[in-house]
A and B are shown apart, each in its own frame.
Chain A
Amino acid sequence: MEWNFLAAIGRVALRFMRSVGHLSLFTVQSFKHIVLPPFYLRLFLKQLMFIGYYSLPVVGMTALFTGMVLALQIYVGSSRFNAESAVATIVVIGLTRELAPVLSGLMVAGRVGAAIAAEIGTMRVTEQIDALVTLSTNPYKYLVAPRILAGMITLPMLVLVGDIVGVSGGYLVATESLGFNASGYIKNTFDYLEARDVISGLVKASVFGGIITLMGCYHGFNSSGGAQGVGRATTNAVVSSFILILISDYFLTVMLLK
Chain B
Amino acid sequence: MPMSGNAKISLKNVKKSFGNKHVLNGLNIDIAEGESVVVIGGSGTGKSVMLKCILGLLEPEEGEIFIDGQQLVGARPSVQEKALRNTGMLFQYAALFDSLPVWENVAFGLIQAHGMERGAAKHIAIEKLALVGLDADMAHHSPADLSVGMQKRVGLARAIATDPEIIFFDEPTTGLDPIMGDVIDNLIRDCTKHLGASTLTISHDMESAQKIADKIALIYKGGVVWMGPADEIDHCGNPYVEQFVRGDINGPIELDILKP
Residues of A within 8 A of B (CB): 119, 122-123, 126-128, 130-131, 133-138, 142
Contact = CB atoms under 8 A, between A and B. Distances in A.
B112 A133 contact: no
Contact of B84 (A123, A126, A133): A133
Interface in B88-103: 88-89, 91-93, 95-99
A131 B84 contact: no
A126 B143 CA distance: 13
Most chain B C-beta atoms within 10 Å of own C-beta, residue among A123, A126, A136, A142: A136
B112 A137 contact: yes
Contacts of B249: none
B91 A133 contact: no
B190 interface: no
Given A128-B97, A130-B55, A131-B97, A136 B91 contact: no
Which one of B77, B87, B89 has the greatest number of beta carbons of chain A within 10 Å? B89
A136 B87 CA distance: 9
A127 B112 contact: no
B113 interface: yes
B91 A127 contact: yes
B57 A130 contact: yes
B113 A127 contact: no
Instruction: Rank and list the top 4 A-B pairs by shortest CB-CB distance, nearest first.
Output: A136-B113, A127-B95, A131-B95, A134-B89
Contact of A135 (B52, B92, B93, B113): B113
B109 interface: yes
Given A130-B55, A130-B57, A135 B95 contact: no
B112 A136 contact: yes
A123 B100 CA distance: 13
Contacts of B77: 138
Contacts of B85: 136
A24 B85 CA distance: 29
Contacts of B91: 127, 130-131
Contacts of B98: 122-123, 128
B102 to A, nearest CB: 14
A59 to B, nearest CB: 24
Nearest to A128: B95
A123 B112 CA distance: 18
A119 B100 CA distance: 13
Nearest to A142: B112
30 contacts: A119-B99, A122-B98, A123-B98, A126-B93, A127-B91, A127-B92, A127-B95, A128-B98, A130-B52, A130-B57, A130-B91, A130-B95, A131-B89, A131-B95, A131-B96, A131-B97, A133-B56, A133-B84, A134-B55, A134-B88, A134-B168, A135-B108, A135-B113, A136-B81, A136-B85, A136-B112, A136-B113, A137-B113, A138-B77, A138-B81
A231 to B, nearest CB: 18
Contacts of B92: 127
A133 B91 CA distance: 12
A89 to B, nearest CB: 46
Nearest to A119: B99
Interface string B155-187: 000100000000010000000000000000000
B154 to A, nearest CB: 12
Contacts of A134: 55, 84, 87-89, 168
A46 B57 CA distance: 28
A135 B57 contact: no
Nearest to A133: B57
A135 B109 contact: yes
B86 to A, nearest CB: 9
A130 B158 CA distance: 14
A167 B244 CA distance: 74
A128 B93 CA distance: 10
